[in-house]
Amino acid sequence: MAIRLAIRVCIMTFLLAAMLPLQSEAVAHPKPKAVPDRPELNFQPGPLRIFQSPTNGRWFWYMTYEVSNYTGEDRIWAPTLTLFTDRGEVIESGRGVDRDQVLEIHEHLGQGMLELQHEIIGDLLQGEGNARSGLVVWQAGHTDVHELSLFVAGISSETTLVEHP
């Protein structure tokens, strides 16, 4: 019995020692700089609103925004916008949203220069005169939420190369 216990302790010690380098690699992920050393895109969100489709009664969150480029070089604008609710929902823009619903919201807003979320993907030229205005739409699973958070990927010019472990 004592020999089995000693063998188990040795095996556990070996496994823990073998896992120690893995733990330090997992902690060593890239971290963003507190102050970016390169200019970033200027993203100005509009108000986040809710809309009920008159044709099918479904609810959608939507937001307009303007993005401009002061980075010193032309950039590609292909944003990913994700909405988080206090109910635990993680909602990707455009998922479960038909083009007809997006067009209903676009028509409701009456802003002809507003680009739809998939049409805005492309070159973002430098300067204020080249700013682009977009519309982004999320399917609203629940409308009785108290807090929403928005994550926008694609604004930062900061990148890093991470080797596969």
The ranges assigned to domains in the chain are: 42-153
Q: Is 48 exposed, middle or buried (0-12, 13-18, 19+ CB in 10 A)?
A: middle
Residue 60 has pLDDT above 60, yes or no: yes
Q: Give the pLDDT of residue 32.
A: 64
Interval 71-79 mean pLDDT: 91
Q: Give the pLDDT of residue 162.
A: 74
Half-sphere exposure (CA, 13 Å, Cβ side) for 38? Answer: 12
Number of neighbouring beta carbons within 10 Å of residue 119? 12
Interval 123-152 mean pLDDT: 93
Q: Topology of 42-153 in CATH? A: Immunoglobulin-like (2.60.40)
DSSP-assigned beta bridge partners for residue 68: 42
Give 28-37 pLDDT, tens digit per residue.
666 666 666 6
Interval 160-164 mean pLDDT: 75
Mean pLDDT, all residues of the chain = 83
